[in-house]
Amino acid sequence: MCVEVSGDENLLKVTISGPPGSGTSTLVSMISESRGWASLNGGDIFRAEAKTRGLTVEQLSSEAKEDLDVDRTLDSILQKRMSSHESPEVIESRLSGWWAYKNNLNCLRVWVNVSEEERARRIQKREGGDLVECLQKSKKRQKDDMERYSELYGINLDDMSPYNLIIDADEKGELEVYQVVDSELGW
């Protein structure tokens, strides 16, 4: 899939989504570095909002669990950035593929799929801790996110229909995942 760009516009070309521990941040770095593209991580918007409110990320996260308007506000900011002429070429967030789909943005929408067990291994490798505990935390976060996105937007994270490229990455290394996306992007 190649995205047409006219003039020197800076338009969204690809969204990268997947559960925590799936390697989306690494993939975004590889794409951005190899192509010289700008990127935005949805977590950056969250961190900026925490700073604006004079809160730590953990404090804002606690607020978000109690007040769904926090997510609505931050997701609205992300959607506006995605749709603007100043959008970076690459945006990573759990829902960026959904927002691109719902807002009819012409871009590659990638979902990186990884089993719960593999995500737990990757999280353990990155953050340390006990594998069983990492698995339990990962499952709880996925369950909480599924419930929140369903309540907020009617989105089922198991529904892959918004994505035009789904990569099963359990048996793929970082470079293999990158090569699949790079090939799909063309040029």
Closest CA to 12 of 37, 36, 33: 37
CB 177 within 8 A of CB 23: yes
* Tokens standing for residue 94: 């759990």
When the pLDDT of each residue in the chain is averaged and rounded to a whole number, the result is: 89
Element (H, E) at 112: strand 108-113
* pLDDT at residue 30, as a whole number: 97
* pLDDT at residue 5, as a whole number: 42
* Range name among 10-19, 29-38, 139-148 with the lowest pLDDT average: 139-148
* pLDDT at residue 9, as a whole number: 52
Is residue 42 scored above 80 in pLDDT? Answer: yes
Query: Going by C-beta distance under 8 Å and a sequence separation of 6 or more, which residues neighbour residue 150?
Result: 156
* pLDDT at residue 145, as a whole number: 83
| pLDDT one-digit tens code per residue, 86-119 | 899 999 999 999 999 999 999 999 999 999 899 8
* pLDDT at residue 61, as a whole number: 78
- pLDDT-based confidence at 139, cuts 50/70/90? confident
Q: What percent of the chain has pLDDT over 70?
A: 95
Q: Under DSSP, is residue 39 helix (H, G, I), strand (E, B) or coil?
A: strand
Closest CA to 160 of 81, 78, 101, 89: 101
Question: For residues 25 and 179, what is the distance between their CA atoms, to the nearest angstrom?
Answer: 15
* pLDDT at residue 1, as a whole number: 46
* Tokens standing for residue 82: 């995605």
* pLDDT at residue 2, as a whole number: 41
Question: For residues 19 and 11, what is the distance between their CA atoms, to the nearest angstrom?
Answer: 25
| CATH of the domain spanning 14-114+160-170, picked from 3.40.605.10, 3.40.50.300, 3.40.640.10, 3.30.1300.10 | 3.40.50.300
Is residue 8 scored above 60 in pLDDT? Answer: no
Question: For residues 28 and 116, what is the distance between their CA atoms, to the nearest angstrom?
Answer: 21
Domain boundaries, the chain: 14-114+160-170
